[in-house]
Structure 1
Amino acid sequence: MSAASDRQVQGEAATHGQTLLTRTFPEIGAGGFTSRDGTVEFLTRVHSLLRPQMQVLEFGAGRGAGLQDDAVPLRRGLRNLQGKVARAVACDVDEAVRAHPGADEAVVIQPDAPLPFADADFDLIVSDFVFEHIQDPAQVSAELGRVLKPGGWLCARTPNRYGPVSLVTRLIDNSRHSRVLRWAQPERKDIDVFPTAFRLNSLRDLRRWFPAERFEHFTYRYEPEPAYFFNSRAVLRLMLFLSWLLPPVMKTNLFVFLRKR
């Protein structure tokens, strides 16, 4: 199959998936998002903490995929911090961060190396679906704590290690993630798929690496609309049933809000 044909098939599958979601969540017709939209929930809470004078770091920002690809204006607006704070910095280990459209500064960082920022440089750090990829939580948590000001906020969204999606993902070798995601989420681009580690995405992990004597914890579990249902009505219904059936400890996402003492 040619690249053009492959893109057409993926586009048709994504359209079919959106149609299934719209039939299940009719409120999508009023604004483009569901009443369980995790991005709206997470970033609305982040925005409630923002102040115009803040220095803000987006850790693991990538190319700013949501800003470039999200078709929903509200979500794009929530993702864009530029102009809402005094300084918006995006950093990532990938050179793609240089194309981030919502940053005053874009910085390429080195894996397992100190962050190239001064101590207590930032009032708020936001990290969206990054913690599940972190290989060395001791090093990363220490660096995030170092560059965050006392009283500053660390805000992160990550899959809950004990959620059904994470449990299934951990059974799949990282080398096969792109292939599986192309089937599960046809609109997802290979450039936005990264190896997972699942070493910093449980409440126990967070309490270990961000101890209570240094951080106040306001983290909560959240169940968004299903993101992975292979564009199948049967799988979508199954995922919705599981989300109702499973105990709170198995909710899909963790919304991490930590305040440095």
Structure 2
Amino acid sequence: MGILRRCPVPWLPLHKQEQYRERYKALKPSWQPATEVYESLVAGYLGPEAKVLDVGCGRGGVLERLHPKAALSAGIDVDIPSLREHRAPAVKRVAAKAEDIPFANESFDLVICSWVLEHLREPEAAFREIGRVLKPGGHFVFLTPNALHPIPLLNRLSPGRLQRVLVPGFYGRAEEDTFSVVYRANAERDIERFARKAGMERVSLHYIEDPTYIAINDFFFRLGILMERFIPSRCKVHLVGDYIKSHPGNRPG
């Protein structure tokens, strides 16, 4: 474990993972990585009059590339350094929690978040706030790990120890950029419950495999492909969801 923490070179840098993803696409042409599915959904709801909020915006994300397509782009995050270092200065940034969004009711046509739901300690409050700031007919699109996949399951059983070892060692992420995970809104049943209470209903929920999650070399890439054959569809590693805020009088019961 100590060796992994001190490892100066990540075992699975992003460019290497992307190379394995291209190899997997060649083997399975119908497959799309979760990030591509997520970005495609987000892009589909943007337009010259669209107002979009990125919850947990970090230093960039999809709005770094897509914000010119929207009339207004905003982001919130609790991490001040990330807000200061955001790579799209045109995005309006505010220090705030998902559970207390500092915008008026029905301010946005689209709310997005990637790699955020797994960190929420009060997901019901966060979903309620997202529903509040969405306009009727507006969409909430998210990308998050699936709590039913073996890796998040192991992380939950090891009170975060697996995350503290794997994230710095595999991906080379700095300690200050590694946040604890609780997976309280990372299974279909929980997401559905929180969304309905917030006045939203499902448009789509994609379960997406990714054997490159452990692909530190060719052996582990092949092992990841083999594992995917035995993992049930609803336990695939990533979830990409699209939920719509119902119009008044047509709220889910």
Q: Which of 163, 182, 185 matches 1:200?
A: 185
- Distance in 2, matches of 1:177 and 1:167, equals 11
Matched residue, 2:101: 115
Look up the match of 1:137.
Answer: 123
Distance 1:127 1:14, change over 3 A: closer
Number of the residue aligned with 1:84: 69
For residues 125-166 of structure 1, the C-alpha deviation after alignment (integer angstroms, 9 at most, x for no partner) is 010010011000121111111111100000001111111221
Query: What's the RMSD between the two structures over aligned residues?
Result: 3.0
One of 8, 18, 32 as aligned partner of 1:36: 32
Q: Which moved more, 1:43-52 or 1:219-228?
A: 219-228
Q: Structure 1 residues 141, 15: closer, same or farther in 2, change over 3 A?
A: closer
CA distance in 2, matches of 1:23, 1:215: 35
Q: Is 1:223 the equivalent of 2:208?
A: yes
1:31 alignment counterpart: none
Note closer, same or farther for the CA distance 1:212–1:22 as it changes in structure 2 (3 Å cut): closer
Q: Please name the residue that 2:231 is paired with.
A: 246
Question: In the alignment, residue 48 of structure 2 is paired with which amino acid?
Answer: P
Q: What is the Cα deviation at residue 13 of structure 1?
A: 5.9
Which residue pairs with 1:70 in the alignment?
none
Q: What TM-score comes out, normalization by structure 2 length?
A: 0.82
* Structure 1 pair 154–242 and aligned structure 2 pair: CA distance change class (3 A): same
Q: Distance in 1 between matches of 2:129 and 2:83?
A: 19
Letter in 2 for 1:165: I
SS in 1 for 2:201: strand
One of 51, 57, 62 as aligned partner of 1:61: 57
- Whether the 8 Å CA contact 2:76–2:97 is kept in 1: the answer is no
Whole-angstrom CA distance in 2 between matches of 1:99 and 1:230: 30
Question: CA distance change for structure 1 residues 13 and 217 in 2, over 3 Å: closer, same or farther?
Answer: closer
- Offset at residue 175 of structure 1 (A): 5.5
For the 8 Å contact 1:133–1:197, the answer to whether it is kept is: yes
Cα distance in structure 1, aligned partners of 2:106 and 2:14: 45
**Contact 1:43–1:79 (8 Å) recurs in 2:** no
- Correspondence 1:14 to 2:13: yes
Query: How far apart in 2 are the matches of 1:43 and 1:20?
Result: 19
Equivalent of residue 233 in structure 1, options 218, 222, 243: 218
Contact 1:121 1:147 in 2 (8 A): yes
Q: 3-state SS of the aligned residue for 2:35?
A: helix
Unpaired runs of 5+ in structure 2?
Answer: 1-5, 247-253
Q: Deviations over 1:9-36 (max 9, x none)?
A: 33x76389459727844759xxxxx953
What per-residue deviation string (whole Å, max 9, x for no partner) do you get for residues 66-122 of structure 1? 5xxxxxxxxx7x75232110110011011022321224211101475x211000011
Instruction: Indicate conservation of the 8 Å contact 1:56/1:123, yes or no.
Output: yes
Letter matched to residue 172 of structure 1: S
Pick from 120, 143, 148: which aligns with 2:134?
148
Which of 165, 187, 196 lines up with 1:211 in the alignment?
196
Whole-angstrom CA distance in 2 between matches of 1:161 and 1:16 = 26
Q: For this pair of structures, how many residues does the alignment match? A: 238
SS of the residue 2:239 aligns to: strand
- For 1:170, what is the secondary structure of its paired residue? helix
Percent identity between the aligned chains?
29
Letter in 1 for 2:91: D
Q: For residue 224 of structure 2, give the secondary structure of its aligned residue in structure 1.
A: helix
Q: Please give the alpha-carbon distance, in whole angstroms, between the structure 2 residues aligned to 1:150 and 1:19.
A: 37
TM-superposed CA distance for 1:216, in Å, is 2.4
Q: What's the TM-score, normalizing by structure 1?
A: 0.79
Match among 180, 204, 214 for residue 166 of structure 2 = 180
Contact 1:222 1:253 in 2 (8 A): yes
Distance 2:154 2:108 in 1: 36
